[in-house]
Amino acid sequence: MAALSDGQEGHGAGRRYVGVGHLTGSLASAVAGTNNTVNNHFYHSHGPGPGGTVTSRVDSRGYRKYLRPRFVRPLQFEAAGRALAKHGTLFLSGEPGSGRKSAALMLLWERFPGSDASCRRLSLDEDDGDDRLHPDSIQRNDRLLLDLTEERDPERLSTVEKRLATFVGAVEDMEAALVVLLPPRRDQDPRLRELAVTESTVTIERPNGTAVFTEHVLQDIDADLVDGRAVRELDAFLAAVPMRDVAELARRTVEARNVHRDADFAYWLAEARKSAEDYREEVTEAIGATGPEQRALLLTVAVLEGGHTDAIHRAQRQLLEELRFSRDEIHLLEQRGIEAALGDIGVVVDASHAVRFGKVRYQQAVADHFWMNYPDMRQSLATWVAACVELDELSEEDRGRVVERFVRQACRHNRIPELCAVIRRWAGSGNRPVRKNPPIRWADTALDLALRWDEDAGQAAQQVRRQIYEWASDEQLGAGLAQVLVEVCAEVVADTHPDQALVRLRRLAWHRDDAVATKARSAVVTLTGDTRVHRRFLWRMADWMGQERPSDVTLFLEASSGERVLHRARPRAPIVDAQAREQLRRCWAGVLPHEPSWWRDRLREWLDEAVNSPHRDAALTLLLDASGANVDILARLYVVARDWAAGGDPADRVRRRDVLERLNAGIARSQGLTESGGTNGRDKNGAST
């Protein structure tokens, strides 16, 4: 069977559903929200305490902990929850920036409060490793999110039109929960508009902006420090701006507190409001009044704010070299010192020689100015950043700042190819022992940050996941980058896109470097320790086996222990489900034609588990069916089982013998033999039983 592309790695036979023309009645209900709720940003800090900057992270489990105490329920939120519980599928619509995603996540989390499962994000990209709305991919009590707010591609919209109704039927059958995010009705493709026409509609309206701001602030600032009057003076502003701006103002207020701890709340709030305006005019004027070297220094401080003056000096020189700026030859003793040069551009140097602009987010405004207004310089900036991280003069904290701020700009300005080129450079440097500060760890950090970037409805993260797939498919991929990809797939991609993580790890498991392949298999084994992920693994592996890759045989055997499949205490053991049994049969059918040395240990372990399992007969039947009644395979299967039955604790041999006899009887039946006339106490090859 020819190898398939990432999204074409087919799907096993299973349940069949009859699609309907439109989602009506019990199949779905629509939530038409035209106002704002709470935007989906999870912020974390990099760097040393208050000096670290913040960046957007989307992590369904971590974000749940962040959002829950800050979330102010919009009007009709409870009605939306009841509709989701009743119909299983909910359409959520609203204006851009209205916080539909956070509301959707809260609804999904509250739908199954006892489950720790993450919200699985569905993808429509055929080359991205997801299921493209395949009904057999749904498991009981799944939390599913399909974001169509930015979807404009005719082919993918056609997929939605053709498959969503059937998919929703499967959601209802499996008692799962699906929220579909839609753009405002005026922006909806006619196909989406028809799909969202339902008998049940719930309208959710934005919560009180002041309440949202207050809840966010109180998570980080003591209540007795919050000036209620200063907050109330913002009522009109907070009632008019999108909820993401409300949350952002709260975060900036906390940052201002961290910088000016001796000031009061009114001052922090005023500083936050100033920073929210991005200082655009001020920055434009300041940069316009400087020469080339001062501009390079401003940009360097913007990228390294919080760093030591020595790091600033070295990085500025690196930038000038990268831009091929010819400096006048001035003797060192005639040059201005670095602190004087910094003072000329309004930068503050503290007693520890750390460099700061002294205004909340001013560094971000300066960096934004250069990235926005100098597009021809972006490639050079990417190369400069790559070199800066490798400089010995920078501390680990400095490198963290550089990486985080670079990823932000690359994602904001859609410079993913340059970002990935830098990541590949850092990862390729990882195994050079001569390096004092190998940058490979920053390749991991940059990928992590880019995959969690969500300010563009996930477009940048999607491009990065696609690049990871292409890298993982490259047979010549360097071991350093491959090791990074294994970690990122297992720790980041898997959280919200488990299918894509499994697809990429499976490809990394056939890497030519044994250490990479072993690490990838280990990551799959760890991920599939989660019952839901293991079921999705089986669903895919059943088709992958048709490609006849030896690495798939090894991967299946390592990830499918008898304990996982047969143990009576394991919730929803795969052997209990007819669909999963069929997938296991197809997998074993790809395993058993190989030499017993490949699968002997795993089979013996399955038989160990079968001794005390209520699913013993189902497991034996599965193995026999997987043989396809092939005489040679049955003979090898029997010999391995016979040797297994003869070993072990003498107290267990009676039960082992019972398992062997049941297997032998099944072999006889598969060969059309009876117990009396066929085996006579011997296997079909004449071996004594």
- Helix, strand, coil percentages in the chain from 3-state DSSP, rounded to 5: 60, 5, 35
- Between 626 and 157, residue with greater pLDDT: 626
Which H helix or E strand runs over 385?
helix 378-389
Q: Whole-angstrom Cα distance, residue 64 to residue 440?
A: 30
Could you give the percent of the chain with pLDDT greater than 70? Answer: 83
The pLDDT tens digits for 235-266 are 998 988 888 889 989 999 999 999 889 999 99
The pLDDT tens digits for 478-497 are 999 999 999 999 999 998 88
Which H helix or E strand runs over 582?
helix 578-591
Burial class (CB in 10 A: 0-12, 13-18, 19+), 576: middle
Nearest to 424 by CA among 371, 379, 483: 483
Of these ranges, 193-202, 426-435, 591-600, 678-687, the one predicted with the greatest mean pLDDT is: 591-600
Res. 548: pLDDT tops 60:
yes
Q: What is the pTM of this model?
A: 0.81
Of these ranges, 84-93, 401-410, 559-568, the one predicted with the greatest mean pLDDT is: 401-410
Q: What is the pLDDT of residue 63?
A: 78
How far apart, in Å, are the Cα atoms of 448 and each of 127, 385, 429?
21, 17, 18
Res. 679: pLDDT tops 50:
no
Q: What is the pLDDT of residue 53?
A: 33
Residues 6+ apart with CB under 8 A from 416: 410, 450, 460, 463, 464, 467
Residues 6+ apart with CB under 8 A from 540: 9, 11, 499, 502, 503, 506
Name 177's bridge partners.
Answer: 143
Could you give the percent of the chain with pLDDT greater than 90? Answer: 54
Residues 6+ apart with CB under 8 A from 429: 390, 435, 438, 439, 440, 480
- The alpha carbon of 285 is separated from its chain's Cα centroid by a whole number of angstroms, namely 41
The pLDDT tens digits for 341-385 are 999 998 999 999 999 998 888 999 999 999 999 999 999 999 999
| Stretch among 128-132, 633-637, 654-658 having the lowest mean pLDDT | 128-132
